[in-house]
Amino acid sequence: MKLNIALLAGDGIGPEVIDQAVKVSNAVAKKFNHEIVWTSGLTGAAAIDAVGEPYPDLTHEICMAADAVLFGAIGHPRFDNDPKAKVRPEQGLLKMRKKLGLFANVRPTFTFPSLIDNSPLKRERIEGTDLIILRELTGGIYFGERGRKDDGDTAFDTCTYTREEVKRLAKLGFEMAMARGKKLCCVDKANVLETSRLWRETVQDMEKDFPEVTVSYEFVDAVAMRLVQWPNSYDVLITENLFGDILTDEASVISGSMGLMPSASIGVHTSLFEPIHGSYPQAAGKDIANPLATVLSAAMMFEDAFGLKEEAAAIRAVVNKSLTEGIVTEDLAGKEAKAYKTSEVGDWLAKNI
């Protein structure tokens, strides 16, 4: 099979972790007789520096022409403490999500048996955790009307959702639940917010179409607490953009390292696959960042974008092997154990595919 993949390395550690995912993907392609055509595009601070715009039109064209997008990370500290900066790398990410129609962000949380003790949470709490947070990605307060008034002394951001936006996200959630544990949790703040009441009403209306799925409705503040107390009681959670942003960072702690969790963003055009961690600028260029989240995002890409299940399984198997054999970067290596470089982990994975 010929796979046309757009490659957006982005900022910080993005290029380093992407390099490893490319090595591993190429090894898988060789083993299973596929041909991958990679086309690189600029995003984030790197794109601002080159063309003054964090998601250039050319990059968008590359993504639209591809079968899938593999993405590193966006963000640079030089913009973080400057509330007056006119262009920010993150705007590129939001523009990309909107223009590619990536309305659903799939963020799984699972534990690796060999890493359970790396988690700050107790083993008995997290064993068996296997949940998916399905975050709405192109609506809500991220994209609502915003501004200043009263000479700049008052600021506002608005959260808007349409029934259609909720429906298409919830439909995916129901379908995912059907393919897994048949449990769906709608996370909202319906005791306060009108948009949340629309979410609840819409999901309630859909229950009859998925009679096998057990649906619960929980407030986001309670979920924030339950997620770390009883993560293994959840299966699929659906939620709006900002709640999902916050809960998925929280959930990533369960597995013991943010450097491990992959994600997929799907929608109306090309799907995009990326690690959930950020650009980790302190580590950029040092060859120390954990490439596994990006490598596992590539596995999701083989499976979800191309239906190549065996290829995805081969990647996951080799990642598990690297974890049990201790071929890991410094974030996972124990105090006494040797820490491998980002590129060494990538080479090892590619060799062992």
Catalytic residues: 142, 189, 221, 245, 249
11 binds ligand IPM (CB under 6 A): no
Min separation Cβ 173 and ligand IPM, Å: 18
53 binds ligand IPM (CB under 6 A): no
Choose one: 43-51, 145-153, 215-223, 237-245; the region binding Mn ion (CB under 5 A). 237-245
Choose one: 16-24, 215-223, 243-251, 258-266; the region binding Mn ion (CB under 5 A). 243-251
Of the chain, the end-to-end C-alpha distance in Å amounts to 18
Min separation Cβ 274 and ligand IPM, Å: 8
Chosen residue from 67, 90, 331, 347 binding ligand IPM by CB under 6 A: 90
Torsion of Cα atoms, 232 then 237 then 239 then 241, to 10° = 70
19 binds Mn ion (CB under 5 A): no
Contacts of 235 (CB under 8 A, 6+ apart): 130, 131, 132, 177, 180, 181, 182, 183, 184, 185
Chosen residue from 9, 42, 93, 261 binding ligand IPM by CB under 6 A: 93
Strand partners, 38: 5
Which of ligand IPM, Mn ion, none sits in contact with 175, Cβ below 5 to 8 A by type? none
8 binds ligand IPM (CB under 6 A): no
136 binds Mn ion (CB under 5 A): no
245 binds ligand IPM (CB under 6 A): yes
Backbone angles phi, psi at 248, to 5 degrees: -75, -30
Tally Cβ neighbours within 10 Å of residue 149: 9
Query: Are 294 and 275 contacting, i.e. CB atoms less than 8 angstroms apart?
Result: yes
Please state whether 129 falls in left (phi above 0), alpha (psi between -120 and 50) or beta. beta
274 binds Mn ion (CB under 5 A): no
Chosen residue from 245, 274, 303, 311 binding Mn ion by CB under 5 A: 245
Min separation Cβ 262 and ligand IPM, Å: 13
- Cα 273-52-70 angle, rounded to 5 deg: 10
As a whole number of angstroms, the distance between CA 323 and CA 115 comes to 8
Min separation Cβ 250 and Mn ion, Å: 10
Min separation Cβ 278 and Mn ion, Å: 8
Residues recorded for the chain: 353
Residues that bind Mn ion in the complex, under the rule CB under 5 A:
245
